[in-house]
A and B are shown apart, each in its own frame.
Chain A
Amino acid sequence: MTTAPLPTETAPAPASRPRNFTRWLSTTDHKDIGMMYLALGALFFLIGGVEVLMMRLQLARPGNTLLQATTYNEFFTLHGTTMIFLAVMPILLGFSNYLLPLQIGAKDMAFPRLNAFGFWLTAFGGVILYLSLLEGPPDAGWFAYAPLSERPFSSSLGTDFWAAALLMMGMGTTLTALNIIITTVRYRAVGMGLWKMPLFSWMVFVNSFIIAFALPSLSAALIMLEVDRALGGRFFQGGGSPVLWQHYFWLFGHPEVYIMVLPAWGIISEVIPVFSRKPIFGYKFVAGSTLAIAVLSFAVYAHHMFAVGFARPVNLAFAASTMLIAIPTGIKVTNWVATLWKGSIRLTVPMLYAIAFIVQFTFGGITGVSFAVLPIDWQLTDSYYVVAHFHYVLMGGTLFALLSGLHFYFPKMTGRMLSEGFGKIAFWMITLGFNGVFLVQHALGMMGMPRRVYTYPDLPGWGALNLFSTVSAFVLALGLVLTLINIVISWRLGRIAGDNPWGAWTLEWATTSPPPKGNFVRLPPVKSSRPLWDLAHPEDPDHQRPPRHDQQGHIRPEERNHER
């Protein structure tokens, strides 16, 4: 056997690839497609951010007249659709695309051209959505509740553009999920059993099954909506059932929450062990609880419809299932915290985001459970409490995890480090800004402020809290702009990263940064979930480790203070 020396931290600057624009149009390399997804997501994140800043300006003081009511409706519809389908999902698909083949030791996805096709479908979907600006944008909210989204109440073509865009993007996402499933099943490195995959790959893999079952539900609903709107069908109007739209939409919509948050959890599960210098606590529980979430995410969908007026047993069943889903989620949070416990914690920027994620996501999860209690839900539904809750989950949870992943994987993707100083300033602005925006909205919701209103009367406290929320939104936006500047500057001028700047143990860190075409020149042997640890510590590899507990179930003394 020949051996190859590992490049050290003083590796030469990454060779620049040919700067040829058409390369990006025709590429089928999963890394290029991943980067394109990330860029697409960042672009639309900016657009969606500008939209929400306009909304926050309008809400800054009572009785404001900056935006008209209809304009405000269009803004929140575009903001919701853009953020979910064009910002968060492309960014997480970007991470999945980039990292999954690297983590499992494959050279590319199973269907590289289908992968590129999925990206372009998503991108064209975004173009179609924003072409609606020429015809009058959609204004029925991102759930497009029928009959509000039907022709008589939403007569511009905006909703048709919206439906077409979502159909395209949904198809692109489904094809990518299919690709991920086949890639994971067939292209894992020799020795990498399912239970040895890195946790990010695990969650993306399970996530793809959720996508495969959830997004068709959206497609079916959109087809029905378009049959109604374009051909005069009667699914949701003229004797049809508006509640049917809600069923199908939320049968997609609730799993969608987990579609957005599972890869984020995967990133957190990668970041926390690395910066605690410990293996993840309870690997199998972190991975396995994902399966429970995948099943339960469909079983809870009608908790979005408690106010529709179902029979009591139906409501109770969905309330119970909603509380049940807190268990696998809690298992994950517990395991992350247990990983931090007695670790040698390094407070780098990715780790800061990960810790903020745990705090904020837990808070959002708890307010989520409060909605499972029917009387509370009836009281608070469609108030700003809901807005605060889902932003705590989707922004405090997903966005913070994505930012953590961005800072963590930037060296792998570009070969250069992001500036820590810039990163820390941006982190504090984003964290304080975010909590400033949404923490007070819980109070506003409990005081009765309804969501989706373009203005409000000058009731005691409402004006001050809303102003605080608006100012915080601008602090948050500034922090995000600072992050973007950090990325642009560090891409050219950042410190050279080397292969494994963080000292991580999964396969993607075994190749160069950025990885070459085909990803690996040679793969290390995979015998446990941390192949690089096994290589670095032949005297103490994971796969030869005796059980941590003795026969009586006590932790063996030599395990107690053992840094793994």
Chain B
Amino acid sequence: MSDNPASIPPIPRVSQALDVSRLPLPPGHMDASPRSNGFWGMAVFLVTDTVIFLLLLVANIYLRRYSQGPAQGALDPGTTVWFSLGLWASSGALVLADVFRKQAKLSGLLYLLTAALGLVFLYGQAQEYLHLNAQGATVDADLFFTGFYTLTGLHGLHVAFGALALLVTGALRFGGHLGRGREGFTAGLGLYWHFVDAVWVALFLLLYVWGGP
């Protein structure tokens, strides 16, 4: 049973050749490069995140028809849209930051601006929670608000985490401490932030604007 061959011819180390995120890239050609591991890893993670948000949203939509407590009318979309604009604007700042990064220009301040806009959103959300609680629209008051707080709370946690990571990224980039080897991390973080913004579009429409089934 000793069918082992006498010798194995060498071939180049494949995993190194495939690890595109560590290959040096010619200047000005970042856009044409394949996506990094960090980007795709984050993409798969966001798929799992989407499932969580989707299922919580379905639970909210299903349960709100049996709601008998304080109505959805306690929400004030007019105020919410103002601090939401902060979050959506942050995606614009991030796009700009990524363009600067790919052109190897200074991008640190733009990442910090993105994080700051995220913090504006969190401040607005905190104010909204306080306002709602004062009106008696608490987590345990009503089926609608149980789902509302769960969804917006989970989203808020996402924003807080992303803002923290953006602050760190911005500070490191500002100091020139994040080199080419870390492009994958920044790309993944960027994808994450755009995703969190997109989730807020869905949540805003379905929780604040849409009247329910």
Please count the residue pairs between chain A and chain B whose beta carbons lie under 8 angstroms apart in the complex. Answer: 162
Question: Would B51 and A227 count as touching, CB distance under 8 A?
Answer: no
Residue of A nearest to B68 (CB): A239
Bound-state Cα–Cα, A523 to B10, Å: 6
Question: Would B9 and A190 count as touching, CB distance under 8 A?
Answer: no
Stretch at the interface among A2-10, A20-28, A459-467: A2-10
Interface string of A82-119 (1 = CB under 8 A from B): 00000000000000000000000111101100100000
Question: Would A232 and B41 count as touching, CB distance under 8 A?
Answer: no
CB distance from A295 to the nearest CB of B (A): 15
Question: Apart from A178-B45, A248-B55, what are 9 other A-B pairs with CB-CB below 8 Å?
Answer: A8-B4, A111-B41, A175-B45, A189-B14, A216-B49, A240-B143, A240-B146, A522-B9, A536-B4
CB distance from B90 to the nearest CB of A (A): 25
Pick from B4, B51, B62, B68 the residue with the most CB of A within 10 Å: B4
**Interface members, chain B 112-144 (any A CB < 8 Å):** 139-140, 142-143
With a cutoff of 8 Å between Cβ atoms, the chain B residues found around residue A188 in the complex are: 14
Bound-state Cα–Cα, A187 to B20, Å: 11
- Sample of 16 A–B contacts (CB below 8 Å): A107-B13, A182-B44, A187-B15, A189-B14, A190-B11, A212-B44, A215-B48, A216-B55, A220-B52, A223-B52, A234-B146, A235-B146, A239-B67, A248-B55, A522-B9, A524-B9
Size category of the binding interface on chain A? 35 or more
Question: Would A503 and B1 count as touching, CB distance under 8 A?
Answer: yes
Question: Would B2 and A182 count as touching, CB distance under 8 A?
Answer: no
- B174 sits at the interface (CB 8 A): no
Interface string of A180-202 (1 = CB under 8 A from B): 01100111111000000000000
Bound-state Cα–Cα, A223 to B67, Å: 20
Question: Would B47 and A503 count as touching, CB distance under 8 A?
Answer: no
- A64 sits at the interface (CB 8 A): no
- A128 sits at the interface (CB 8 A): no
Residue of A nearest to B20 (CB): A186
Question: Would B154 and A223 count as touching, CB distance under 8 A?
Answer: yes
Question: Would B48 and A110 count as touching, CB distance under 8 A?
Answer: no
CB distance from A23 to the nearest CB of B (A): 23
Bound-state Cα–Cα, A256 to B104, Å: 46
- B162 sits at the interface (CB 8 A): no
Question: Would A220 and B139 count as touching, CB distance under 8 A?
Answer: no
Q: How many residues of B are in contact with the other chain, CB < 8 A?
A: 46
- A1 sits at the interface (CB 8 A): yes
Question: Would B44 and A3 count as touching, CB distance under 8 A?
Answer: no
**Interface members, chain B 134-178 (any A CB < 8 Å):** 139-140, 142-143, 146-147, 149-150, 154
- A12 sits at the interface (CB 8 A): no
With a cutoff of 8 Å between Cβ atoms, the chain A residues found around residue B59 in the complex are: 220, 224, 235, 244, 248
Question: Would B63 and A220 count as touching, CB distance under 8 A?
Answer: no
Bound-state Cα–Cα, A219 to B63, Å: 19
With a cutoff of 8 Å between Cβ atoms, the chain B residues found around residue A276 in the complex are: none
With a cutoff of 8 Å between Cβ atoms, the chain B residues found around residue A235 in the complex are: 59, 63, 146-147, 150
- B78 sits at the interface (CB 8 A): no
A6-B52 contact given A212-B44, A536-B3, CB 8 Å threshold = no
Bound-state Cα–Cα, A215 to B47, Å: 12
CB distance from A26 to the nearest CB of B (A): 20
Pick from B2, B10, B17, B66 the residue with the most CB of A within 10 Å: B10
Question: Would B139 and A232 count as touching, CB distance under 8 A?
Answer: yes
With a cutoff of 8 Å between Cβ atoms, the chain A residues found around residue B147 in the complex are: 235
Question: Would A522 and B15 count as touching, CB distance under 8 A?
Answer: no
Residue of A nearest to B40 (CB): A182
Question: Would A6 and B7 count as touching, CB distance under 8 A?
Answer: yes
Bound-state Cα–Cα, A9 to B17, Å: 32
Interface string of B33-48 (1 = CB under 8 A from A): 0000100110011011
CB distance from A513 to the nearest CB of B (A): 13
One of A6, A182, A224, A232 near B37 (C-beta < 8 A): A182
Bound-state Cα–Cα, A232 to B13, Å: 56
Question: Would A217 and B55 count as touching, CB distance under 8 A?
Answer: yes
With a cutoff of 8 Å between Cβ atoms, the chain B residues found around residue A77 in the complex are: none
- A272 sits at the interface (CB 8 A): no
Question: Would B18 and A187 count as touching, CB distance under 8 A?
Answer: yes
- A231 sits at the interface (CB 8 A): yes
A4-B7 contact given A107-B15, A235-B147, CB 8 Å threshold = yes
Question: Would B11 and A234 count as touching, CB distance under 8 A?
Answer: no
